[in-house]
Amino acid sequence: MENIKKIISQIPKYTAYSFSMSMVVFIVIGLIAEVEGISISMLIQLLIVCIIAAILQMIAFSDICIKKLAYIKRLALFMFSFLAVITVFAVKCGWFPVENMGAWILFISIFILCFIVSAILFEIHFRITGDKYTGILNEYKNRKK
């Protein structure tokens, strides 16, 4: 139960990461497309998407729901489930004209690019964190000798 509480407590942090990244993406797209502002309803939609993304991350990358699954399969599980969620939001919230094939290509391209960048950033974060804890463990072992 304690493990579940710990993982659930991570949802706000991952929501903040996702929301921050979505704001950066929106700024870049806005600058390119010359969009001057963002509505409150769009901010709320992005926040909800980011909360769902955080929950999906906890499901895909923790051992609460899925006990044994290779990292690459977890990554694929997260990517496709999040793509489904964000696609539903794009259609239902009218983020772009859904009948426009060019808009879909751009949407999927941006999604893939953002996914790759975020996967790389998280990998770097986890390696740095792992190295830090390995160093601490080695110091502890050396003191025990």
Average pLDDT taken over every residue of the chain: 87
Predicted pLDDT of residue 51: 95
Q: What tens digit of pLDDT does each residue of 15-27 get? A: 998 899 889 888 8
Full-prediction pTM beyond 0.85? no
Alpha-carbon distance values, 111 to 3, 6, 114, 135 (Å): 31, 29, 5, 36
Q: What tens digit of pLDDT does each residue of 111-135 get? A: 898 888 888 887 888 788 888 888 8
The count of structural domains within the chain is 1
Has residue 84 got a pLDDT over 80?
yes
Domain residues for the domain of 96 are 2-144
What's the token pair of residue 9? 């407590």
* Separation of alpha carbons 91 and 73, rounded Å: 27
From the list 65, 63, 57, 66, the residue with the least C-alpha distance to 10 is 57
User: Helix, strand, or coil here: 93?
Assistant: coil
**pLDDT tier, 83 (very low <50, low <70, confident <90, very high otherwise):** very high
